[in-house]
Structure 1
Amino acid sequence: MQTRPTVLAVPYGTAIDRGTAHRVLRNTYALLSMTLLFSATVAAAAVAFSLPAPGLILTLVVYFGLLFGIHKLKNSAGGIGLVFALTGFMGWTLGPLLTRTLALPAGGQAIALALGATGAVFLALSAYATTTKRDLSWMGGFLFAGMVVALLAGLAAIFFQIPALALTVSAVVALLSAGLILYETKQIVDGGETNYVLATVSLFVSIFNLFTSLLQLFGFASSDD
């Protein structure tokens, strides 16, 4: 007796293999958990050893270079290795920010708040994305355009030393990152993303951006106490 694969009908008329979607989501969360732990370990080491920030140019070159490599090797073990290289590097870049935040009067509390808020947002949005039947595919273009604008504004804030603009960008990036977590998770659930390596990178970057944006906002608030 032959059995037909279980399919999941999504609102916009696409049928996908439910088993494949669940497997991709499970593998994504497993790899995401490991990379988050690895990145946090590297960030803690960067704080402990007072490692300097790699600098904007080096950060951009390494970040986009590793992203390119991950896309090229996404179906091999080498791609997973590059994912750990990327997330470890991002942990290094996070170290100096944590060090500066810890030097503030309520820096430890700001880090705890940012970490707790990031975890709560991720869990809430993941739960919604895996249960809702609504079509969220329209969010992709809007969120991508918003991130491009936010990146350009963030670079302007750095070069022209405009604190108010930097805080505004942090708030916008936090909102956009939350939206991306929702969109990217729904893409996996609906079969729009079938490669767990790429899915892991996308979610990791969104979580990282959400955390750093909240950390800057909470850090600024603690500096005014």
Structure 2
Amino acid sequence: MNTISPFSRLTQASEAFDTDLRAYMLGIYRNMGLGLALTGLVALAVAATPPLSALIFGTPLKWVAIFAPLAFVMFFSFRIDRMTTAGARTAFFAFAAVMGVSMASIFLVYTGTSIASAFFTAAAMFAGLSLWGYTTKRDLTGLGSFLMVGLIAVIGVSLVNLFLGSSMLQMLVSIVGVVVFAGLTAWDTQRLKSEFVEYRGHQALDKMAIMGALSLYLNLINMFQLLLGLMGQREE
């Protein structure tokens, strides 16, 4: 009669856990990547259609384009518990499309080279920090509260500066913002890993993965926009 040793059972359980965790995280990154692709396509389409871009950014509709993503995120966060997994995924991609409309203006303001440079810089930072957050043994929980305070400050000052138009203040916000979203990338990655450990096998985990994709998406998008503001060259 063949028997499996306790060590073999433990090894198999560990391998199964690692496989499930990798699949969970890859699913989050896949949804995030699809959201980024949708945002880019919508932004390019709006920027490449002069009548549409003029209608949006040459009229008071620009304020709707600016604030719609923020309103969408708040709505999404409050309604996620009442959504199905399919509904949450649809809402995430709808948000990505709305963000694309909002971001179309960057193609009208900055050169293509500086946009690409800022994006690849942000993507490289994101990949490194997310990998660190996934692999580090250091508990980043305490960092979360500090980063959230920084995030609220960045959002508040950015909104105020929409009306002040101070270039010096904008530069300061951009530098602080890059640091905050860099930290959030590592913190969110570790948080998502911890959530999988806690809720593995629970039905709610699928929706939590969608929210995780949204969190990482926002970290990368915001790092990109802030870096573009710091290093981007404007169209002449």
TM, length-normalised to structure 1: 0.82
Letter in 1 for 2:147: L
Shift of 1:65: 2.3
**Contact 1:28–1:196 (Cα < 8 Å) also in 2:** yes
Name the residue aligned to 1:79.
Answer: 88
Q: Which has the higher helix share?
A: 2
**Aligned to 2:119, which of 101, 115, 121?**
115
Letter in 2 for 1:150: V
Name the residue aligned to 1:61.
Answer: 71
Q: Which runs of 4+ in 1 moved over 6 A?
A: none
**Contact 2:131–2:186 (Cα < 8 Å) also in 1:** no
Letter in 2 for 1:27: G
**Pairwise CA RMSD:** 2.5
Following the alignment from structure 2 to structure 1, what is the Cα–Cα distance between the partners of residues 73 and 195? 27
1:213 aligned to 2:217? no
Shift of 1:186: 1.3
Aligned residues: percent identity? 25
Following the alignment from structure 1 to structure 2, what is the Cα–Cα distance between the partners of residues 94 and 65? 20
Return closer, same or farther for 1:92/1:67 CA change in 2, 3 Å cut-off. farther
**Aligned to 1:6, which of 8, 13, 16?**
13
Shift of 1:119: 1.3
Name the residue aligned to 2:215.
Answer: 202
Structure 2: runs of 5+ lacking an equivalent: 199-204
Alignment of 1:98-109 (within 5 A): 98-101=107-110, 107-109=111-113
**Contact 2:147–2:183 (Cα < 8 Å) also in 1:** yes
Structure 1: runs of 5+ lacking an equivalent: 9-16, 102-106
TM, length-normalised to structure 2: 0.79
Following the alignment from structure 2 to structure 1, what is the Cα–Cα distance between the partners of residues 70 and 32? 22
**Contact 1:147–1:173 (Cα < 8 Å) also in 2:** yes
Name the residue aligned to 1:104.
Answer: none
1:35 aligned to 2:7? no
Letter in 2 for 1:96: S
Moved more, 64-73 or 192-201: 64-73
Name the residue aligned to 1:13.
Answer: none
